[in-house]
Structures are given as C-alpha cells and as structure tokens.
Amino acid sequence: INNITVFILLGLSQNKNVEIICFILFLFCYLAIWMGNLLIMISITCSPLINQPMYFFLNCLSLSDLSYTSTVTPKLMIDLLAEKKTISYSSCMTQLFILHFLGGIEIFILTGMAYDRYVAICRPLHYTVIMSRQKCNTIITACCAGALIHSASQFLLTIFLPFCGPNEIDHYFCDVYPLLKLACTDTYRIGLLVIVNSGLIALLTFVILMVSYFLILYNIRAYPAESRTKALSTCSSHITVVVLFFVPVLFIYIRPATTFPEDKVFALFYTIIAPMFNPLIYTLRNMEMKNAMRKMWFHCFWKGSNFYEKQII
C-alpha cells in the first residue's frame, strides 16, 4: 500500500539566512564544476591527449562528474530558496536511480584509471599493447554495465517499499536510507542488502584502489628521480580524488540502515565538493594537461584574432 505521492525534503537547514548563504556558496560551486569540467573535456577532446588512455578516462570522469552533480545540485539550490521543498514520488525514484547509476560509473572509472596507471608505471614496455583503444572502450562499457546493475538493484529494493505514513525526508535529495526510514514495513533485511550492494562495493573498490597505488609506489623506488617525481605527482592527485569521494561514501553506506544529521554534510563531499575539486586536482598538478590547455586556448584566441583582423581589413 502506497499512500504517498509527494515527499517533503527537509533540506540542509531550517534557518532561512543559512539557506541563502548556502545558495550563494553552492551557486559558485556549481558554476566552478561546469567551467572546470567543460574546460577539461574541451581541452582533451580538441588535442592529441584524447589518444592517451589516462586522458581518455579523465574525459569520461569529467563528463560523469558533470552529469552526477547536475542530478542533485540544481534541485538543492531551488529548494534553498523555496518555502516548501517537495519532490514527487516518481521524481524521487528517478533521482535515486540516476544518482546511483552515475555514482557507480564514477567509482568504476576511478578503478579503471588506477589500472591504467599501474600498467603505465609497472609494465611500461607493454603499455601500448595492453591499454589499446579497444581495451579502453571495453573498460568504459564495463563501468556503465556495472553501474547499471548496481543502480537497478538499489532501485528495485526501494520501488516496492510501501509508504503510508510520514512523507518528510530528512535529506536534500532522495537516497535509500532516508526512504527506508519512512517505509511502513520491516526494512532490516533490505538494509542488509543495501550494505552489500552499496557499502561493500564501495569498500572493495576503495581497497583495490589503495592496493594498486601502493604497488605503484613500491615499484617506482628504483626509477630515476625525474620519473619518480612525475609518477608520484600523478598518483598523489588520483589518491586525493579517491579519498575525497570514497571516505564520505563509506561513512554513509557501510553501516546498518540508520541516518544521522551528519549524513547531509558528508553527502555534500561526494555530490558537490569532490566534483568541484577534481578539475583543479587533475589540471594544476598535471603539466601535460596544463600545456594542452595553454596550446589549445592560445590557438583558439590567435585564430579568432586573425579572423577578426581579416574582417576589418
């Protein structure tokens, strides 16, 4: 029995002044996410870097970041200015499905990037053979398929829950644990399945990523100082992204089906903060990326300037 057609989102705060400050802050964050990720995608797509596996994966990660945060942030900003924060039942389920689908893609792409760095550093002579374009496309396809299975499982666990009582979700978007709290049935077993589906997948992926980077750091000990510095710079930027994304995810999904007020703050890290910092981490600490961006934009402005001068003449 489902008597609920609309959910009320309690949001981040009940204080209007705090909500206005949050709106301004998240507006700047969202603009930074769009500008940073679009800059990365355009710079990679319009340069020879797109033929390198690492930047091919980075391009996919930027697209995933942009899509992922756009599932939550616009609705959050609208609700910060609204008197009543509501979302329909169908929109809530759609948001949950898309959010976990895109989040799953991001998790698996980070794993693919770690594998790419492992092959590049630990097996450099076989790198071009192992990481062919066909192999990269296969990895991205596997990321999407794995994310679809994960998201569909979460969706099926939630869509059949009966909601017949309170309809206030203590969050700023629709997620599994807040919805389990509202269901008018025993959700203990479903909560365990959510832990297996989300928590253990995130934990296993995080462990695999950390082990791969540990093996990389172990193998570069004998490298020359310059190569070692470059490898350390690349790995440190990747590890920073992994920690920013996975630690909040593990805090929320690895425990039993309970909700805490801190969940909303931790959720901001993987829905807004991590996608905002990813472009900065991958561009400011990457010399090839900065050179590609500099050449591309210089070429665009120079070509545009010459075209404008010819029009005047």
Burial 86-104 (b: 16+ CB within 10 A, else e): ebebeebbebbbbbbbbbb
Average pLDDT value for the chain: 84
Instruction: Tell me: pLDDT of 303 over 70.
Output: no
Provide the pLDDT confidence category of residue 309 given band limits of 50, 70 and 90: very low
pLDDT per position as a tens digit, 212-222: 888 888 877 77
Report pLDDT for 285.
62
pLDDT per position as a tens digit, 99-135: 999 999 999 998 898 888 888 888 888 888 899 999 9
Instruction: Tell me: pLDDT of 30 over 90.
Output: yes
Instruction: Tell me: pLDDT of 312 over 70.
Output: no
Rg (CA), the chain: 22
The structural domains of the chain, with segments of one domain joined by +, span 6-310
pLDDT per position as a tens digit, 249-269: 988 888 877 777 788 888 998
Provide the pLDDT confidence category of residue 13 given band limits of 50, 70 and 90: confident
Dihedral of CA atoms 288, 293, 295, 301 in degrees, nearest 10, equals -170
**How many degrees, rounded to 5, is the angle at CA 12 between CA 9 and CA 15?**
105
Instruction: Tell me: pLDDT of 148 over 90.
Output: yes
Give the range among 44-53, 155-164, 285-294, 295-304 with minimum mean pLDDT: 295-304
Report pLDDT for 29.
93
Instruction: Tell me: pLDDT of 279 over 70.
Output: yes
**What whole-number distance in Å separates Cα of residue 149 and Cα of residue 101?**
8
Provide the pLDDT confidence category of residue 278 given band limits of 50, 70 and 90: confident
- Give me the count of residues in the chain: 313
Sheet containing 86-88, strands listed edge to edge, beginning at the edge strand earlier in sequence: 86-88, 6-9, 168-169
**What whole-number distance in Å separates Cα of residue 191 and Cα of residue 193?**
5
Q: Read out DSSP for 127-195?
A: HHHHT-HHHHHHHHHHHHHHHHHHHHHHHHHHHT----S--EESSSS--HHHHHHH-SS--HHHHHHHI
The two three-digit tokens of residue 201, written as one number: 């997948």
Give the closest residue to 241 by CA, choosing from 101, 85, 109. 109
Three-state DSSP class for 46?
coil
Which runs of consecutive H residues, i.e. helices, occur in the chain?
16-45, 53-70, 73-81, 89-122, 127-130, 133-159, 176-182, 188-194, 200-219, 225-253, 262-268, 274-284, 287-312
CATH of domain 6-310: 1.20.1070.10
Mean local confidence (pLDDT), 190-215: 88
End-to-end Cα, the chain, rounded Å? 75
Burial class (CB in 10 A: 0-12, 13-18, 19+), 81: exposed
